[in-house]
Structure 1
Amino acid sequence: MNTKPGYNVLQSFVDKEGNRQLKRVGAMWNNTGRNGKPYYNLKIGELSLLVFENTDPDGAGTTTKEGSIEMDVEQ
């Protein structure tokens, strides 16, 4: 994973004076899988998610019997 994030994740909040502010709560990095397809790693606090482009018109990937989605991703 790259050290500098490609994107910052911001959350709006209202400060004590009633002003709307933005606070950085996470980041997102662009990566490339072993199959050459791009994906993103999104981290917000302790939460870490993988984000893929939805190229399947019927869903977001191939679902196995166990209900997980099969994707070819570098670890």
Structure 2
Amino acid sequence: MDLRHYLNVSAVTNLFVNLIGLWFFRNYARINLAYRNAEDMNCHSVFLHVLTDSIRRFDIGILVIVHR
């Protein structure tokens, strides 16, 4: 059974959801040395987490395409 199709669908769906998350948290992309409150630092952490997950999903998609 070939499961590459499911991997492609999963990678594209997760990348799309992560790009939406990046768009929602785009205001927290800047690096501030002093945060005004804890929520700003937390939202910045969420942005970085979603960014790294997006990069990882993009890499998985590239690897699946190259592996064919």
Greater RCO (CA < 8 Å, at least 6 residues apart): 2
Range of TM-score over shorter length: under 0.3
| TM-score of the aligned structures, taking structure 1 as reference length | 0.21
Which has more radius of gyration?
Answer: 1
- Larger fraction in strand: 1
How high is the TM-score relative to the length of structure 2? 0.22
